[in-house]
Each structure stands twice: as C-alpha cells, then as structure tokens.
Amino acid sequence: MPLRTRTLPAAALLCAGALLTGCGAGTDAQAPPAVTDAKPGDAPGRPAAQTVPVADISGLGPRTMAEIPAESRQVLVVTGEDRDSSASAVALHVRDPEKGWQRTAGPWTAHNALRGWTEEHREGDLRSPIGVFGLTGAGGLLPDPGTALPYDQGPEFTISGRGFEGEPLDGSFDYVVAIDYNREPGTSPLDRARPMGGERGGGIWIHVDHGGPTQGCVSLSLEHMRELLRALDPGLHPVVVMGDARTLRR
C-alpha cells in the first residue's frame, strides 16, 4: 500500500511495495481470431474483401493468447527465464490489421521478483504475479516524459535504501507504470484500493531497474521506461502478459 512519504528507510521494499504493500482465468485454447478489412466500395452483406489471420505473439501459447482481451491491440510481454528466476525479457507488440501481431520494441533485459513467479500472488511472497493485466496509469518522481497514459508526478515516488544485492534503490520510481493487479484500473499508481484484499498483495509496477531483483514488480532501464511510456496508447487498450516462459507457452 502506498505510504505517502518522501523517503523510505533502508529496509524499504524494492518496488512499488516500498510505497505499497506489493512490490511486493484463462479459457480453453481456441483458434486465433481473424481480422476482416472491407475495402471502400464493398457492397453491404458481401464477404469482406480481405481476411487476414491474426498471428500469435511469439512465445505465447494458445491458452495465454486467449486470455488477451479482444479489444487489446497493444501487448507488453514479460517473459521470465524460469519459474524461480528473477531475470526476464520484455517486448512490446502491436496488432496490425493486415499483418497481425508485430513486435515494435524490445526485447529488453529486465528484473522481476527475487523468487520468480506465481499464479497465486500473496503479499510478501517475493514472487511476481502471472497473468494478463491492464496498463492504465503511470507516474513518477520525474516529469511526464510524454505518455498518453494518466500521469501522476510527485515526491511520493521517492525511495532510498538498498536492494537484495546491496544495490541502491534511489531513482527506482523516477518512472512507473501501474500493473492492474489487485488495483482499481485508471487510478494513480499510489492508489491504496485492493479489490481482492490486502493479503493478495498489490502495488505491482513496471519501474526503473536498480540492478537487482524486485519484490514483485518488473524493472527496466531508465531509457526503456521512457520509451515504453511514450509508446503506450490507451486507445489500443494495452495489457501486460507476464510470467515464466514455460507457463506463457501454454
């Protein structure tokens, strides 16, 4: 839960959980949907001029693809090395109406939680939640770099102390994107609401990498955080698909 203080002690948690309590259902597989594009002049009632299959995103299996909302045309994929690893890779994809899913950024190296991943995230388990979650709010200590997402800037995003590997945490919250795990979509990353209850954790963010594992968040370099913020488009209903590689291939 966010603690609206300017700094956190050295024992502070490593990601949004330093300010929040966190960071710290799929369906059966179906055939990929098709995108139909009618050309000008097509008569009403006639079949569309062109039908293009929407290719799957590389590394995602049919069950995981089926969990992506139909309206989402922008997907950030976070792929952990394995179930218990804190190392991961991040890539951004956009669905083109003619070409299907296209990678538009990445892969970027990233960190996730110290103990890896879980499908039943609990507060303090030091694992990142597996699933598909919306990306509807951002913020940070630094000014808005030009994102189309709602952006909350303020000193509450200050953090100090050291991480699991002794690395300084300063600057970790210069930029953050809230992951809609156990939170109210569209609110500030600092919002304290936990719809599933506090025991399920919260405050799971994408934030600036401090050079070591997180408590539950995903972390990217400052450069890549800035690039991500500028790329995310609310009109495309962006989501993050996150988990270990084996699980995402289901």
pLDDT at 36: 37
Coil, helix or strand at residue 113? strand
Q: In the structure encoding, which two tokens stand for residue 71, read together?
A: 């309206």
pLDDT at 240: 98
> Is residue 25 over pLDDT 90?
no
pLDDT at 2: 38
> Is residue 39 over pLDDT 70?
no
> Is residue 43 over pLDDT 90?
no
Give the Cα separation of 181 and 115 in Å (integer): 18
pLDDT at 202: 96
pLDDT band at 56 (very low <50, low <70, confident <90, very high): confident
Look at 46 and 17; give whichever has higher pLDDT: 17
pLDDT at 168: 98
H or E segment at 118? strand 117-118
- Residues 248, 145 contacting (CB under 8 angstroms): no
| Average pLDDT rounded to a whole number, residues 73-98 | 97
> Is residue 35 over pLDDT 70?
no
Buried b (16+ CB within 10 A) or exposed e, 128-160: bbbbbbbbbbbbbbbebbebbbbbbeeebbbbb
Give the Cα separation of 188 and 139 in Å (integer): 7
Residue 214 per-residue DSSP state: B
- Residue 63, C-beta contacts closer than 8 angstroms, at least 6 positions apart: 26, 27, 28, 29, 250
| Average pLDDT rounded to a whole number, residues 109-119 | 98
Alpha helix locations (H) across the chain? 16-19, 62-67, 222-231, 245-248
pLDDT at 134: 98
> Is residue 53 over pLDDT 80?
no
List pLDDT tens digits, range 143-162.
Answer: 999 999 999 999 999 999 99
Instruction: Report the chain's mean pLDDT, rounded to a whole number.
Output: 85
> Is residue 225 over pLDDT 80?
yes
List pLDDT tens digits, range 133-144.
Answer: 999 999 999 999
Q: In the structure encoding, which two tokens stand for residue 57, read together?
A: 């995103």
Predicted TM-score (pTM) of the model is 0.81
Q: In the structure encoding, which two tokens stand for residue 173, read together?
A: 């919250």
Residue 153 per-residue DSSP state: E
| Average pLDDT rounded to a whole number, residues 46-62 | 66
Q: In the structure encoding, which two tokens stand for residue 49, read together?
A: 């001029």
Q: Taking Cα atoms as reference points, which of 104, 123, 100 lies closest to residue 113?
A: 123
pLDDT at 55: 74
List pLDDT tens digits, range 191-203.
Answer: 999 999 999 999 9
